[in-house]
Structure 1
Amino acid sequence: MASKCLKASFSSGSLKGPGGGYGGSARVSTVYSGSSCRLPGLPRGARSFSTCSAGLGRSSRRAASCLPALWLPSGGFAASYSVSGGWFGEGLLTGSEKETMQFLNDRLASYLEKVRQLEQENASLESRIREWCEQQEPYLCPDYQSYFRTIEELQKKTLCTKAENARLVVEIDNAKLAADDFRTKYEMEVSMRQLVESDMNSLRRILDDLTLCKSDLEAQVESLKEELLCLKKNHEEEVNTLRCQLGDRLNVEVDAAPPVDLNRVLEEMRCQYETLVENNRRDAEDWFNTQTEELNQQVVSSSEQLQTCQAQIIELRRTVNALEIELQAQHSMRDALESTLAETEARYSAQLTQMQCMITNVENQLAEIRSDLERQNQEYQVLLDVRARLEGEIATYRGLLESEDCKLPCNPCAPEPSPSKSCLPCLPAASCGPGAARATCSPRPLCAPCPGGRF
């Protein structure tokens, strides 16, 4: 009997998904001799297995699957298997196994359709993301260093100008103070000149009074001298008259008192009057000197008090001007600080607004990225679930195939055995599982049907 070898190769293509578990799209290629069957693609690597089938005697017997009917849960992406043709002819699978294979093939077909659709959607999304990334210009934070340098230079110039203005204001105030001092000194000198002039006027009046008194006294002296001359003349006339009258009479000499010397009396009177005038003049001069000294002392004390008061007034004016200058400097400094504070607040508010806009844009981008990541994570979880389900289905399908290998004759290529010899049955299906090593069939003298009545 000619033997036919069936070789099914599984290769993993490119299945694009967020998890990266599949390298590409799953492709299934099967090669049969006399029949065809679609097998699911394995997720990693490429595997191959071969089964041999042979016709026993003149009649071909169908090997039934040793896989019992399975209930595979539905959900996520359904995968199905489709069977075309027979399995080494007819009668190799039972009805429940055919239904299971049909169910698996249907799910595999729908899964492949879903995978193809997801690949197309993924490609379109990737193209859209690529276009968006190409169109989206990267946001660059503007460089304000040059502006900061310019602002610092302008601030330095402003501070220098303010300092120069303050210095000029201080110089102007000092000049004003000096002018006020000179004005005060001028006013003080004018007042002193007026005081001296008033004193001179008063002294002139006193001098005029004394001159009048002196002229009066001189007039009195002249009148007294004239009166004295008149008295002398009258006395001489009376004496001459008396002498003339007595010339005709007898000259009787009588001892009488000596006559009074009128010249001496007049001299004495003159001396008395001169002494009196001198005393009066001396008293008036002393009184005038005393009054003058008192007035001078009063003027000196008043001038000293006036100078003291004027010095106090000047000192107070200087203090007031200094306080006004300091107040103006403080006001100018306050205005400068307020303007600087307003400029700083405006600048930082503008920067804060820009930062808020940047933060809002970045938050929106982060929200979009998070939503994309969540969506891709959900798709990845779905694909992982699908992968786990497919791996389970592939393991189940592999178990079916390996159990079918175990149920085939041990040596299908050997001649017909004699009835006297017997062959050991094949190993049970438990030894043909996915985790156990494949059983090796050794030639037997005679092949008997496996337990269970399948052959």
Structure 2
Amino acid sequence: NSFLLPRAGGRGAKASVSSIEGLRNVLHNKIENDSAPAIPTTAPVTASQPNGSPAHVSLPENKQELQGLNNRLKNYLDKVQQLKEDNGKLQKEIDDILAKRKAPEIRDWDKIQKPQDDLDKEIKNLTLENAKLLLQIDNNKLALEDFNNKLDDESRMKKELEKDIDTLKKDIEETKQTRDQLQKEMELVEDEVKRLETDHKKEVDNLCEKIKNSEVKVEIDSQNSNLADIVKNIRIHYQKQADKNMKETEEWYKEKFDNIQVKEAHNNEALESGKSEYNKLLKEKKSLQMQIQASLSTNNYRLVPVNNIIVSLEAELKEVRAQVEQKVESYKKLLCLKMKLEKEIQEYDNLMGITADKERKNPKRSKRRLRKIPPPLLHPPLLLLLLPPPPPHLPPLSLTTKKKRTRLKCLWKIDVLKSVLLSVLFLSLSKRKMIGTVKAA
């Protein structure tokens, strides 16, 4: 930024005010020039002119100078108006900053603590829900294990019953074989009995015929023999012998037939009991198969929603874990940010305290500078300009962040703009005084 400063002769010279030090040097030179007596713009008075006669002034040059001054004044006024607007904005910002410095804003920790408490409550609720879901999952797993154990028991019982059924089938086949064998033996025994009966009848018939046809010649004394008694005794003897043989054969056959009948009855009873047991086992097998199928269908029907619930719960559990991890990370970030802000506030307070202590310790320096300024030029804006602005106390980079440095730089720029604005106002006032003196001349 650069603007024109009036020289002692009335013409402007461009001075660089790109920095605050350059502006101070320019203003200091201007104050020294203004403190000297003003040189009139009229031509010098020669010795030939009499005292009290007006000085000869070239009117075209004065008009051009006045026109140039008017144009420069107009530009200055426009700049002053613009700077006033900027000054108002900057003054408002400065007032806000000063108000904040005077009444430091107390951070409302309740606003931060409330969402933190809400997050803690949500985390607790989520952990409780997670625990409930884990309990439900454990219960479902235990129920599933019970069903699996029952299914294993039923399958083991089924295998044992199948083995028993196979053994019973083998026993039934063996009983059938023994029954067939016994029936064959009975047929053989009956055939043998019939054959023996026929043989016995034949032998008896043959004996009877032989007895009838036999002629026994016995020569005995008729006086001492009794033929009828002898024949009678022989008949009685043979009859007894035949009866004895018949009884023995009948008893033998009866005993044989009784044993066969007992065995047959026992075999028939065993066969009937085997058939009844076989039928019972078949019924039990069918009922067990039906029960197994029903239990499998019911277990599958029950396990389908349980599996769906387990899958959904696992998905929800993953989402909840991800949300909890995100919230924990955000909470950690907020905590770190809070600690950093507290540290920065503490450092800023320490820096502000150091600057205040320096200003309190060196009040004589400002008084010495005020004494050097001439008394008629102690204008408040000029006094503010001549006072050295506080340099931006920037600590090392390790102590502050970029935000802190930019904040301090902004404050320093605001102070510089304020000093520039005040210098422009002072120059405009001095320019008006010069114009008044020119018009009077």
Q: TM-score per shorter chain, which class?
A: 0.3 to 0.5
Question: Greater helix percent: which structure?
Answer: 2
Larger Cα-atom Rg = 1
Higher relative contact order (CA 8 A, sep 6+): 2
